[in-house]
Amino acid sequence: MIFLHLIVLAISAVLGLVFAYFAIVEEDLLKAVIYSAGQAVAYAIAFYILMAPDVLLAYIAIAVGIYTALLIFVISKTERREVIS
Amino acid sequence: MIVEFLWSIVIISILGATVISLYGIARRPSLIKKLIALTILTDSANLLAIMVGYRLIYPVAPPVLPRLTEEGLKEFLATAVDPLPQALVITAVVIGMAVNILIAFAIIQIYRIYGTTDVRKIAKVIKNEGS
Amino acid sequence: MKKVHAVTACIIVLFVILLSFVLTSLNMAPETEEVRTLGKFFLENSYFGDYSAMSPEVVTSILWDYRGLDTIYETSVFFLAIISSLALFRLGNTIESEKHSEDSGPGLSFIVKGIVKLVSVMIIAVSASIALHGHLTPGGGFQGGSALAVVPLLVIVAFSKFALEDLGFTKDRAMVVRSLSLVGIALVALFPLLYGAYIMQNQPIFPARIGGQLTSGSLILYNIFEYFAVGAGFTAVFLLLATPEKIFKKLLGVKKE
């Protein structure tokens, strides 16, 4: 039965790594913000499997709600694309 | 054997996310991308702190006392995880959020004054003004 | 997304699996099966012990009773960040008074507006429940306040910023609510000094049960004040962020390259 917990934990940790990589190398900043929100959901599942419900409640409201809204406000007032050249 | 393998996958993927976000802070020229990479870095560090307090046993329970009796206390002590890293991580999450809000406001103000969020162009403007 | 990025992501995942296989065969993966002695002290003493905080939720009793000073400093750091953001986005008195003459747009469609009205009431109820039960189940002031912060955000996006201000939630009133809640936290922290005890002491100064219900002394008061403080702080931040850009362009011109 411990295998079930650890398999879900391993899958969510690897998903968090993949989403973090896509968020960093993406040039369209709006897509990067959405990938970062996906990474926050993967880490929230990891927090639940590690038996930390207090941290989960604070973290999911802040990372998926506040950070995404804050970054979309900032992008709408500044630039949308990141120019690498 | 399989338990240790899965636990190693978790540790190395979180360390990998930390390294990738450090690359993002150092090498990407947009200020908003640096802020996104900073949030990923603090999230990975907090998850690593919670993993220090976990116990690899089964059954395992969160640190909340379910029954207010003395027999419930014995069973609780045998299965609960460490509560101290969780309290410290809640504090760290809120402080990190306060600093990120201030950084976002500063980015908007920099765009209003210099007209761009590309750090190479801002460096050029500052060097031309100084000379 | 580009093909290069997808291929690199697969290579990174394979590399992680390979490296963890190497780590397992060398027997270097750390694993723990016992709680450390400091954590064991908190688990034993939170409800039944000699240094009891009369709360079955160990993390909340650590946050507000055993390590209460850390939480006071964290709240003051959050307050300093909000004051600095207010100072950055400061407007003159004349420009702030003529802000309201701009016409706001029509907002989103009426389906979204109807659903936002329903969901806002549900979010307020759920966040108040999270904050008030913080001493019995996982939850507390920060968690409830962060959930409450979604409501002004939804109203600003679906209606407009001026609709939220017409309801009475201006930035100055939000700062007043936040300051009053912080004064409340300071009073509850300094209250045990009247009895000759320490600052932020919980038992035996505050009553552990009120009317037969377990309220864990000062923990429920701290949770209520922190809930209002965090919710009002986020309302002020979102009201500042939603100001239209043309007002600021009147103050300072944008230098373009």
ipTM entry: 0.95
Q: Does A53 touch chain B (CB under 8 A)?
A: yes
Residue pair B35/B100 in contact by the 8 Å Cβ criterion:
yes
DSSP secondary structure of C32-51: --S--HHHHHHHHHTTSSTT
DSSP secondary structure of C104-146: P---S-HHHHHHHHHHHHHHHHHHHHHHHTTTTSS--HHHHHH
Residue pair A43/A16 in contact by the 8 Å Cβ criterion:
yes
Q: Does B8 touch chain A (CB under 8 A)?
A: no
Number of domains in chain A: 1
User: Nearest C-alpha of chain A: how many angstroms from B54?
Assistant: 6
Q: Cβ separation of B8 and C29 shorter than 8 Å?
A: yes
Number of CB pairs, chain A paired with chain C, less than 8 A apart: 55
E strand or H helix that includes residue B39: helix B31-52
**Amino acid letter for position B69:** T
Residue A62 scores a pLDDT above 50: yes
Taking every pair of C-alpha atoms in chain A, what is the biggest distance, in angstroms?
Answer: 51
pTM here is: 0.93
Residue A83 scores a pLDDT above 80: yes
Q: What pLDDT, on the 0 to 100 scale, is given for residue C257?
A: 44
Q: What percent of chain B has pLDDT over 70?
A: 99
Any chains having at least 3 CB pairs less than 8 A from chain B are A, C
Confidence of residue B55 (pLDDT cuts 50, 70, 90): confident
Q: What percent of chain B has pLDDT over 90?
A: 70
For residue A17, the chain C residues in CB contact (below 8 A) are: 12-13, 16
Instruction: Pick the residue from chain C with its C-alpha nearest to A76.
Output: C245
Q: Does B36 touch chain A (CB under 8 A)?
A: yes
User: Nearest C-alpha of chain A: how many angstroms from C142?
Assistant: 7
For the residues B22-43, what does the mean pLDDT come to?
95
Q: Which domain holds residue C176?
A: 68-251
Q: Domain boundaries in chain B?
A: 2-130
Phi, psi angles (nearest 5°) of residue B64? -125, 125
Q: Identify the CATH number of the domain defined by range B2-130.
A: 1.10.287.3510
Cis peptide before B29 (omega within 30 of 0): no
User: From the list B51, B100, B117, which residue is nearest A78 (CB)?
Assistant: B117
Q: Does B43 touch chain A (CB under 8 A)?
A: yes
Higher pLDDT, C111 or A82: C111
pLDDT single digits (tens) B75-115: 888 889 999 999 999 999 999 999 999 999 999 999 988 88
Residue pair A49/C134 in contact by the 8 Å Cβ criterion:
no
For residue C29, the chain A residues in CB contact (below 8 A) are: none
Instruction: Pick the residue from chain B with its C-alpha nearest to C55.
Output: B65
For residue B7, the chain C residues in CB contact (below 8 A) are: 29, 31
Q: Cβ separation of B82 and C84 shorter than 8 Å?
A: no
Q: Cβ separation of C33 and B57 shorter than 8 Å?
A: yes
CA C182 – CA C77 distance, rounded (Å): 12
CA A52 – CA C6 distance, rounded (Å): 32
In a domain, A28, yes or no: yes
Residue pair B47/B56 in contact by the 8 Å Cβ criterion:
no
Phi, psi angles (nearest 5°) of residue A52? -130, 75
Buried-exposed string C40-67: b where 16+ CB fall within 10 A, e elsewhere: eebbbbbbeeeebbbbbbbbbbbbbbbb
Q: Cβ separation of B68 and C29 shorter than 8 Å?
A: no
CA A16 – CA B11 distance, rounded (Å): 12
In a domain, A85, yes or no: no
Task: Kindly report the number of other CB atoms within 10 A of residue A57's CB atom.
Answer: 23
User: From the list A2, A6, A71, which residue is nearest B36 (CB)?
Assistant: A71
Q: Cβ separation of A2 and B3 shorter than 8 Å?
A: yes
Instruction: Pick the residue from chain B with its C-alpha nearest to A25.
Output: B24
Q: Cβ separation of B39 and A67 shorter than 8 Å?
A: yes
What string of pLDDT tens digits covers the 257 residues of chain C? 789 999 999 999 999 999 999 888 887 767 778 888 899 999 988 888 888 888 899 999 999 999 999 999 999 999 999 999 989 888 766 565 555 656 677 788 899 999 999 999 999 999 999 999 999 999 999 999 999 999 999 999 998 888 888 888 888 999 999 999 999 999 999 999 998 888 888 888 888 888 888 888 889 999 999 999 999 999 999 998 988 887 777 666 655 54
Q: Which domain holds residue A14?
A: 2-77
Q: Does A26 touch chain C (CB under 8 A)?
A: yes
User: Nearest C-alpha of chain A: how many angstroms from B130?
Assistant: 25
Query: Strand C213-214 and strand C209-210: pairing?
Result: antiparallel
Number of domains in chain C: 1
Q: Is C1 helix (H, G, I), strand (E, B) or coil?
A: coil
In a domain, C115, yes or no: yes
Q: What pLDDT, on the 0 to 100 scale, is given for residue B71?
A: 85
Give Cβ neighbours of residue C135 (< 8 Å, ≥ 6 apart): C55, C57, C60, C61, C214, C215, C216, C219, C220, C223
Confidence of residue A35 (pLDDT cuts 50, 70, 90): very high
For residue C60, the chain A residues in CB contact (below 8 A) are: 54
Nearest 10 degrees: CA dihedral of B112, B39, C124, C165?
0
Q: What pLDDT, on the 0 to 100 scale, is given for residue B102?
A: 95
